[in-house]
Structure 1
Amino acid sequence: MESLINYLLQFGQLNQQQADLISRKTTFLELKKDEYFSEAGKTPKRIAFILEGILRVCYYNSKGDEITKYFIEEHNFAVDINSYNQKIPSSEYVQAVSTCKLLIFTTEAWEELSSTIIPWDGIIAKITERALIEKVNKLSPMLSEDATSKYLAFLEKFPALANKVPLSYLASYLGITQSSLSRIRRSIR
């Protein structure tokens, strides 16, 4: 719980009473590897804060291929924000890459925090803005680089993830085949 409060405090001020209320509004959830936090076709009704583990956001393209959009590491929020805010079914899956320990906010709890804690919406807006900037910064270079450059950039930005994520997920994220990724990894050792 302390990691959640410390994370929130990076984006705004909270007093002890507000921090206690936030703590009371969460529940703990452990997801095993490969379990889904949310699924395509369903409207998200909860938001997770990752205490431990890695989640991935993925979807199926028109050919039926599974595509990894991005990974979410610990000490970050996880939700399909567009679907959640608009209350529409998601087109993405959020899946545990490893065993994950999560703090869960229901929609009702989230809305209560918004109506009770004056700085809440401002804090969440700053978190959302930072997450969107990070997402753009992760994806933009990936569009123009060759496969080796993409992999090297991934290693530079996410050194801890490289050995924690299955090769198939990493290859999908990089937009290359698993065999190409294996060749690249062998060539740079």
Structure 2
Amino acid sequence: MGVMTSAIQEKLAETLQISMERAKEFLDICYIITYDKNKMIEPKNGVFDRLGLILNGAVRIYYINEKGEDISYLLQVNNDVIGDYASYITGKKSMAVIQALLKTEVLYFNKKDVEILIQKDIFWLGLAKRISDLAFLDAKQRLDELFFYTPEERYLNLLKKSPEILNKIPQKYISSYLGITPQSLSRIRKRIY
């Protein structure tokens, strides 16, 4: 096993809270795609039959509103899961669009391959539940931030999560994610720094 594969296996074991042996077994159904900066990963109206784990980089998940404006819903970075989980479980089209904000490496797994693992060994049903739990917790955290936190608190949480990547993401995407104007984001940054 190469150094890179070993590092990915360790990351999987830690993120999914499984043994190294199970991580290797899971890794056997996975594949990696590297996206260039600004590359569209998933277009609107796509069906998400796979989910991914960001190994390196950053993406934004956004929607186009009725005015034609794009609104960043999530900014996902290293070790975050990406995809539209509702589309993944229902097989329905998604309104979400996913775009790489930096050169980004994603480890993907397809729904059908996970289902095959589950049929072979009930252990994988627990993993599917953990992935579901992660998706739920991400969505809940986002809703909590929107409803209960000020834009400055949301920015500080984002900064805590990934300070090195935040400096590389265009301000317009960060402000959209925070639900504020770029000018308001500039004022928040001035107060903090």
179-188 or 153-162, larger mean C-alpha shift: 153-162
Alignment match of 1:140 (pick from 136, 140, 144): 144
Aligned to 1:39: 43
Secondary structure, aligned partner of 1:160: helix
- CA gap of 1:109–1:146, structure 2 versus 1, over 3 A, is closer
TM-score when scaled to structure 2? 0.82
Report deviation, 1:137: 2.5
Instruction: Report the CA distance between 1:63 and its aligned residue.
Output: 1.7
Residue equivalent to 1:170: 174
The count of aligned residue pairs is: 188
Find the partner of 1:62 among 63, 66, 77: 66
Give ranges in structure 1 of 5+ residues lacking alignment: none
Match of 1:108 among 98, 112, 119: 112
Structure 2 unaligned blocks of 5 or more: none
SS for the counterpart of 1:62 is: coil
Instruction: Give 1:97 deviation, angstroms.
Output: 1.2
Distance in 1, Cα, partners of 2:160 & 2:9: 28
Output the amino acid matched with 2:54.
I
Q: What is the alpha-carbon root mean square deviation over aligned residues? A: 2.4
1:12/1:161 CA distance change after superposition, 3 Å = closer
1:75 partner amino acid: N
**1:44-102 CA-partner distances (Å, limit 9, x unpaired):** 12222221111211111122211111122222332211101100101101111111112
85-94 vs 138-147, greater mean Cα deviation: 138-147
1:166 and 1:173 map into 2 onto residues whose CA distance is: 11
Structure with greater proportional helix content: 2
Task: Summarize deviations over 1:97-135 as a string: whole Å, max 9, x none.
Answer: 111112222333232222224311202212321342243
In structure 2, give the amino acid aligned to 1:25.
I
More deviation, 176-185/126-135: 126-135
Amino acid at match of 2:61: V
2:99 is paired with a residue whose SS is: strand
TM-score, length of structure 1 as denominator length: 0.84
